Structure 1
Amino acid sequence: MTIEPDDIGFEFEDEGITPESLQRDLKLVEKTALSRIRKESHDIYNRLHSINEDVLFVDTVAKNYATLPLVANLRCGAWYVNPENSSGSQAYFKSTDGHYGNWSFNLRRPNLHLLALIVESKGMIVVDSTRSGKRMPDALSKTLPIWCTVVNTAIAQRYNIELSTWDSRLFTPPNVVSAQEHAHISGKIDAWATALASSSYPLPRIPVPLRPIWITPSTTDFPDVSSWNEYGLPLVCVSASRFVEEGLERRAGGYSYIQGSADDHEMWAMGLTPDLFWANHTALLGCQHDELEAMVRQVVLDASFHRIKRNPPSAIAKTGGRLWLCANDDLDAATMGASSSKAYVIIHSTPSPPISLTFEGTGHLLLHVPGGKKGSSVFREDVLPKSTHFIGTALAHGQDVCISCDTGNDLAAGIVLVCLQLFFDDDGSYETGSRRAMGNKQTLQTRLEWIISDRPSANPARTTLKRINEFLLSPAR
């Protein structure tokens, strides 16, 4: 509604105000109000309380489907799933794989580790959220349905299942995905399924096909899936945030509700992570508005001095445990003590090593990779030659090797990939000597699948893979 100066109800001449000047003032007030709303959308107080409101809805859904495990879809979904209620597994259905015209089933994000959990529990709940303008994130409305259909079809291909007895159709929410988009996606399923079926990934034969259903805060009746197991394993897709037309609403509790407030947490969380939020959520939510930022800074500072354990080191099963992969924070003196039979390669981005350890009795190699373009060059020219020489020597002397980096998923995974190509044959058996000249993009893809099968979070960056291709596939200088 537009406010006209004549609607105000006083004589402009008597007050020395003209309609034009009042209209300018009204526009200034409107601009200031909008600016304040935008600022509030970045306010960590409003965001954490909005997340907590959405968590209450997620808990309601989880109680209704009490037998199904609760899984957060990274990264946003982790804010909405209390670790005490979580299955411990995490999914990575990326929204961009469901964006219009960019639909994809990415073999680097196969999520196949979820199948055992789904079969064991006869279904699963997946939680995610989205910002204003959408009722459901693309990750749940398209990426996950694509995954279900591709997996169903690939299993049918690999095990020669008759499709007349196996429902591998694509299911999408009709109020979110148009019939035209649904048809476009359906036309691509067979090719994606063939790529998965012909990959090296283990693909278990599940008893019945996967079938997604969708629940949002506007859902009035939760579907009954108790009898589904005769024809489908239910994947309950929960969009945690309530749809808000403008993305923000005032609450009587003294905060502004922000739809999908956990999205892009690097922009607002001040270093707070889902793990830190849940470890301190009672205290954080109990803070007054003007006290919260100081407490968040303290929580983040304390966490920097008390490392939180992440995933334990992952053995690359194909190698029979000769190669291991982990994050630097997963290493400690107990792991690497004198009794350890492993050798260690530790890649760190900080100027000093991230851990203070006694390496007595074990071989180790510390390598520094700075950030940015310089780091990419250092990885190719310095880290790959030194690490592969060290690892090749350790393997030849009968030592298993553990490789780590800041996350355990990028540079360290890249080094493991190179070593799988250099020192292990296509069956994963160790071979003495280098096989550098025998590699190609397909053998590298297969070995990357070995890594992801055992560490689903492994995801070497595009730049890392490019440097690996140069190192392995370019003529030796």
Structure 2
Amino acid sequence: MSRPLTESDLIFPTQSLSISSTLNSLKRSALSTHNRLSSIQFDADFVSSISEAYGLPLVANERCGSWYIPPARKAESVYFKSTDGHTNEWKFSVRRLNLQLLDLVGRDGGCVIVDSTRRGKSMPDALSKTVPVWCCVMNRALFSEEGVHELHTAPQAVSGSEHAQIERRIDGFVRDFLDICKPDVEALRSKIRKPMRPIWVTQTSSIPDAPPSFPEFHPIVLCTASRRVNGAEGSEGGYIQGAADDHEAWSQGLTPTLFWSHRDQLLTTNEEDLPDLIKRLVEEETASDAAPILIKPTSTLYISTAQNLNPASFDVVISCGPEPLPGLITKSKTRYLHLQCQTGKLGSRDLRTQLKRLPILETWLPPGTSDQKILICDSTGKDLAVGTALAILCMYADASGALTFLPHTHAKIDKKVIKQRLAWLTTTHPTLNPPRATLQSVNAWLMPNPSASAAHASPSPPRTPPQPAPPGRPTAASLFTALHAHSPWSFTRTLSSALPSHPSGTVTGTATFTPLPSSRPALLYTEEGEFATTTGLKFTTRMKYVYVLRGELDNNAERVLDEEWLAVHFFSESGEEGGGDGVGALFVEMDMVGMEVVDEIASVKNREQHLCGRDLYAAVWEVPVVSEGVGMRWWKVRYDVQGPKKEYVSETRYTRM
């Protein structure tokens, strides 16, 4: 007779019942390094076929694009950021001009720009919007006499409404390019001779059998390397969409150059042996000699890493790091300056005080020695060395890039000069883009606070003092401080809907502002209230937003010493950039410059209407102009919403509790 079933026969052990553990294991397996490299190879074959089909050279949009192009076939690198194409944050970057692309386009008649994106999108915003904006700005700036050049955006990724909003900004972008960057329009126009037009290609696109002819324009083929994956990652038999994206998280130090140099070995190695192989390849690569990069348009200023540096061909070497370079202190031929800086953000802070040592170059390189070569280096060649190069370019380079080391004051250096010199660096190579903290230090040195040196200034003739700002007139910083200082707030909101599908009524409740652990000054707005509709229904409402203080060197240092303003973002657990700071996509921004004050009440509109799906949101804030010593006791915000399925007005008044 068989043994009766017991409870232990029916219930599996805990170890084998962990569905979460099993799913995580399956996901790790699907997203393995081997699967990523195999997916990159698969997509690279598609990229190569596009180059052959159009008869055009391949250009990598860094950082992702280089993984999909064998180094021997990569004609150029560019850096177009997807964030410059995010909804409501469209911009033309005067830092990332990518003018080196014009030489290639003029020589070869066009190009194929390669990028990719992870699951959830058919193409990256850099290809659907950022590059098209760049093409349109260049066309209007260089060929203005040929009429208005249309903006072309990817129809499968950009709605008509979003396209129209971007179109309205183009003329402003053109003015920024001409006024801030002051390009040689005739020289640039001579390179390409006719306008550029984007063409979008994905793995589902039809590919021409023979290279087509485009007599009216230069084709800029925007190639999304990866095919779109529907469903969860790893749901297509080991293929990973955008496998090269965010490679720092999985590559273990492997670079595109290393991958292509050892592709066959990497693809044929078992997953369990790959970490050791990659570690060995990375160590061998680290031991290679540094390759200096000449900063254009100069002819004597170079940047490199500090590994195995060969200083023999340079007259001056400047290193940034905790310790001086071994051997250089005793060199007699090479003049050596060590800027002692720690690593990371602490090093950026140290650079602010170390830059004061740069005037030694005026002694080492007097007039008549303009042909002497200068090398600047740090551990990566991408951080402190770039900041130091920027300072030298601003202090000693003229508009043509010629370096003359004469005693210099900072009086002529303003944010336009800094942006122009930044454009030189990023045009030379996309990686020469200093981090925000380093750029802040350079700006603090180049444009010191006038009040800091007022005590040492020579007497000046008396002048009429500027008129003071109206007492208590709110600034972005004062509003930001008041929102937090007087939290919590009680509020009453009236909702007036013109559509029967959306209720009207009143919401009453409380709202709090609490600081977020973000790299930017940010407050988490949390509200809870009761919504009483005009039809007699009542229910609880909860909302979260993030208020961010924007301004000096914010937005990845895109604005240099600009005015401050407040931006309202949606709340996201992971954050828009995946940093976990809670700051999600942009909702609306306060136009502090356009503030109007009537009867001691300041009215501030939003900079641009927010497009959410097919609905447009317009905002107006009202804030009292408070007297000295009296805190803000109330404030109001009104949203006007228009769309095919929404049409309502929301007015909220907040009062100090």
Contact 2:33 2:271 in 1 (8 A): no
- Identify which of 347, 364, 369 aligns with 1:394: 364
Residue 84 of structure 1: SS of its match in structure 2? helix
Describe the superposition over 1:265-301 as per-residue Cα deviations: whole angstroms up to 9, x where unpaired. 1111111111111111111011122221221111112
Contact 2:113 2:221 in 1 (8 A): yes
Q: How far apart are 1:449 and its partner, in Å? A: 3.5
SS at match of 1:234: strand
Cross-structure match for 1:285: 267
1:419 pairs with 2:416: no
1:61 CA displacement: 1.6
* Aligned-pair CA distance for 1:127: 0.9
Q: Measure, in 2, the Cα distance between the counterparts of 1:426 and 1:104.
A: 25
1:266 equivalent to 2:271? Answer: no
Distance 1:355 1:129 in 2: 44
Q: TM-score, normalised by structure 1?
A: 0.83
- What residue number does 2:87 align with? 100
Q: Counterparts of 1:316 and 1:331 in 2: how far apart (Å)? A: 24
- Once the two structures are TM-superposed, the CA of residue 75 in structure 1 deviates from its matched residue by 0.5
Give the distance between the partners of 1:427 and 1:32, measured in 2 at CA: 61
What is the RMSD of the two structures over their aligned residues, measured on CA atoms?
Answer: 3.0
Residue aligning to 1:433 = 407
One-letter identity of the residue aligned with 1:163: G
Match for residue 182 of structure 1 among 151, 157, 163: 163
Conserved 8 A contact 1:348-1:354: no
Which residue identity lines up with residue 66 of structure 2 in the other structure?
Answer: A
* 1:381-437 deviation line (CA, Å, top 9, x unaligned): 1x2012x12222222264435142234443233223323333345565636222223
**1:142 aligned counterpart, secondary structure:** helix
CA pair 358-314 structure 1, distance change in 2 beyond 3 A: farther
Partner of residue 206, structure 2: 220
Alignment of 1:51 onto 2:27: no
The structure 2 residue matched to 1:78, chosen from 62, 66, 86, is 66
Shift, 1:144, TM fit: 1.0
Change (3 A) 1:83 1:295: same
- What SS does the corresponding residue of 2:365 show, helix, strand or coil? helix
Distance 1:226 1:282 in 2: 34
Q: Secondary structure at the match of 1:187?
A: helix
Cross-structure match for 1:7: none
So what's the TM-score if we normalise by structure 2?
A: 0.61
Amino acid at match of 2:196: L
| Greater Cα offset, 180-189 or 413-422 | 413-422
Higher helix share: 1
Structure 2 partner of 1:6: none
- Out of 317, 320, 326, the residue aligned to residue 344 of structure 1 is 317
1:241 is aligned to 226
Question: Runs of 5+ in structure 2 lacking a partner?
Answer: 457-657
Q: Contact 1:71–1:127 (CA<8 Å) still a contact in 2?
A: yes
Map residues 284-323 of structure 1 onto 2, 5 A cutoff.
284-307=266-289, 309-310=290-291, 312-317=292-297, 321=299, 323=300
Among 335, 354, 371, the residue aligned to 1:363: 335
Counterparts of 1:221 and 1:302, CA distance in 2: 40
Deviation at 1:227, TM superposition (A): 2.0
Counterpart CA distance in 1 for 2:405 and 2:220 is: 43
Deviations 1:11-62 (A, max 9, x none): xx9785999x89x99x956534431233235421211111111112112222
> 1:156 aligns to what?
143
SS in 2 for 1:188: helix
* Residue 373 (structure 1) shift: 3.9
1:195 alignment partner in structure 2: 176
Distance 1:313 1:331, change over 3 A: farther
Aligned letter for 1:154?
A
More strand by share: 2
> Are 1:68 and 2:50 counterparts?
no
**Which of 132, 151, 154 is the equivalent residue of 1:170?**
151
Question: Does structure 2 retain, via aligned residues, the 8 Å contact 1:325–1:408?
Answer: no
Residues 212 and 237 of structure 1 are in contact (CA less than 8 Å); yes or no, is this contact kept in structure 2?
yes
Q: Are the structure 2 counterparts of residues 172 and 425 from structure 1 closer, same or farther at C-alpha, using a change threshold of 3 Å?
A: closer
Partners of 2:31 and 2:234 within 8 A in 1: no
Compared with structure 1, are the counterparts of its residues 315 and 111 closer, same or farther at alpha carbon in structure 2 (3 Å cutoff)? closer
428 and 266 in structure 1: CA distance in 2 versus 1, 3 angstrom threshold: closer
Are 2:62 and 2:430, in contact at CA under 8 Å, matched by a contact in 1?
no
Structure 1 residue aligned with 2:351: 379
Aligned to 1:209: 195
Task: State the Cα distance separating 1:446 from its structure 2 match.
Answer: 3.0
- The answer (yes or no) to whether the contact 1:314–1:455 under 8 Å persists in 2 is no
Kindly indicate whether the alpha-carbon contact (under 8 Å) linking 1:133 and 1:247 is maintained by their aligned counterparts in 2: no
The one-letter code matched in structure 2 to 1:144 is V
Distance in structure 1 (CA, Å) of the matches to 2:78 and 2:340 = 31
Could you tell me how far 1:236 is from its partner in structure 2?
1.1
- Tell me: higher relative CO, structure 1 or 2? Use CA pairs within 8 A at least 6 residues apart: 1
- 1:329 deviates by 4.9
Is the contact between residue 77 and residue 127 of structure 1 (CA under 8 Å) also seen in structure 2?
A: yes
Structure 1 residue corresponding to 2:436, chosen from 462, 473, 477:
462
Instruction: Tell me if the contact between 1:423 and 1:435 (Cα under 8 Å) persists in the aligned partners.
Output: no
Amino acid of the structure 2 residue aligned with 1:190: D
Asked if the contact 1:69–1:125 (Cα under 8 Å) also holds between the matched residues in 2, the reply is yes
CA apart distance, 1:207: 2.0
Gap runs ≥5 in structure 1: 1-12
Local SS of the residue matching 1:325: strand
Post-superposition offset of 1:353: 3.0
Higher mean C-alpha displacement, 284-293 vs 41-50: 41-50
Structure with greater Cα Rg: 2
Three-state SS of the structure 2 residue aligned to 1:353 is coil
Letter in 2 for 1:417: L
Q: Given the superposition, is the C-alpha separation of residues 37 and 186 from structure 1 closer, same or farther in structure 2, using an over 3 Å criterion?
A: farther
**In the superposition, relative to structure 1, how do residues 282 and 394 fare at CA in structure 2: closer, same or farther (>3 Å)?**
same
Q: Tell me, yes or no, if the aligned pair for 1:42 and 1:268 is still in contact at 8 Å.
A: no
Count of residue correspondences: 438
- Which letter does structure 1 place at the counterpart of 2:46? F
What's the secondary structure of 2:243's corresponding residue?
coil
Contact 1:452/1:458 (8 A) holds in 2: yes
